[in-house]
Amino acid sequence: MNDLDSFINNALAEDIGEGDHTSLACIPTKAIGSAQLLVKEKGIAAGVELASLIAKKTDPKLRLRLLIKDGARIKPGDVIFTLHGPTRSILKAERLILNCMQRMSGIATKTDQLLQLCKGTNVKVMDTRKTTPGIRFLEKWAVKIGGGNNHRFGLYDMILIKDNHIDYAGGISPAIEAAINYRKKHRKYSGLKIEIEARNLAEVKQIMTIGNIDRIMLDNFSISDIKKAVRLIKGKYETEASGGITEKNIRNYARCGVDYISIGALTHSIKSLDLSLKACKK
């Protein structure tokens, strides 16, 4: 909640500055109004709970009447909520609510689309750290609303040994050994999972020989090599496919038997969903 409070306060301050001069000039001080959040595009609603918090932070006198919850399927013409209270406050909250909900709904919608393509498999679709700085928690929240899973939130909640770590550490074996020793030395981090990236089948075989990890990331593998890797690993470790996976090929990857598919595009190149906050005319 502290992250949310800080985000909302900072975002409102960024937008309002020393005052909303347009509303101050055009709208009477005591004016009361209503508005409704209209859906203009088919998708998954996300950010509804956040919108309620934004309204309360903007002005405790604002009343949000919820009609559609986070995670619901929406279509053009649907009304997600109505907002009633001081007109100036509605106008202050408008853009922040829309910016958040449009982006979060776009992420949730894309997540749902990819999950539908994986139906009938046991794969879990995950996001990555390829997020917008400062609002990672919102984007990962949207992935969850869309039915997806979160990968690590940051550098602090998992040991993920990637290609650069391997090269800097002097190879796969010293990198894994160092990670294991780190967990032993720092007991409070003993629960951190260790995942390591493999760039080819030879590296998968090398990792299998060393062991003592939790998950193997199969990075930029072809479909045929993913299948071979899954057969080599035989369920001994979790498997994650990553790199070059799109809506066109995700089902083929999902059918290879990997446990996870991680897709950076879920958060770094998403199309926002078309929503609009419109005044209710008397």
Q: How confident is the model at residue 282 (pLDDT cuts 50, 70, 90)?
A: low
CATH number where 136 lies: 3.20.20.70
Query: Same structural domain for residues 174 and 68?
Result: no
Active site residue 225: no
CA 178 to chain centre: 30
Question: Which of 162, 183, 193, 228 is labelled catalytic?
Answer: 162
Tell whether 96 and 137 lie within a shared domain: no
Check 130, 183, 193, 227 and give the catalytic one.
130
What would the pLDDT profile of 158-169 be if each residue is shown by its tens digit? Answer: 999 999 999 999
Q: What average pLDDT does the chain have?
A: 96
Active-site hit among 40, 56, 95, 255: 95
For residues 1 and 161, which has the higher predicted lDDT (pLDDT)?
A: 161
Q: The tokens of 38 are what?
A: 């209209």
- pLDDT for the residue 2: 76
pTM for the full model?
Answer: 0.95
47 and 86, same domain (yes or no): yes
pLDDT per residue over 69-124, tens digit each?
Answer: 999 999 999 999 999 999 999 999 999 999 999 999 999 999 999 999 999 999 99
Dist CA 181 CA 92 (whole Å): 53
Q: Which residue of the set 70, 127, 139, 219 is catalytic?
A: 219
219 labelled catalytic:
yes
Asked if 207 and 188 touch (Cβ cutoff 8 Å), the reply is no
Active site residue 57: no
Estimate to the nearest angstrom the gap between the alpha carbon of 219 and the chain centroid: 20
Could you say which of 70, 94, 127, 197 is catalytic?
197
Measured in Å, how far apart are the chain's first and last C-alpha atoms?
36
**Alpha-carbon span 129 to 151, nearest angstrom:** 8
Q: Of 1-5, 19-23, 40-44, 249-253, which range is least confident? A: 1-5
Q: pLDDT at residue 51 above 80? A: yes
Q: What percent of the chain has pLDDT over 90?
A: 98
Structure tokens at 30: 């005591």
Mean pLDDT of 1-15: 90
The verdict on whether 281 is a catalytic residue reads no
CATH number at 8 reads 3.90.1170.20
Parent domain of 20: 2-109+271-279
12 pLDDT higher than 70:
yes
The runs of H, that is alpha helices, within the chain are 2-16, 21-26, 48-58, 87-117, 136-145, 163-169, 172-185, 201-210, 223-233, 250-254, 265-268
130 in catalytic set: yes
Alpha-carbon distance 172 to 161, whole Å?
9
For residue 242, the model assigns a pLDDT of 97
Residues 145, 251 within the same domain: yes
Confidence of residue 1 (pLDDT cuts 50, 70, 90): low
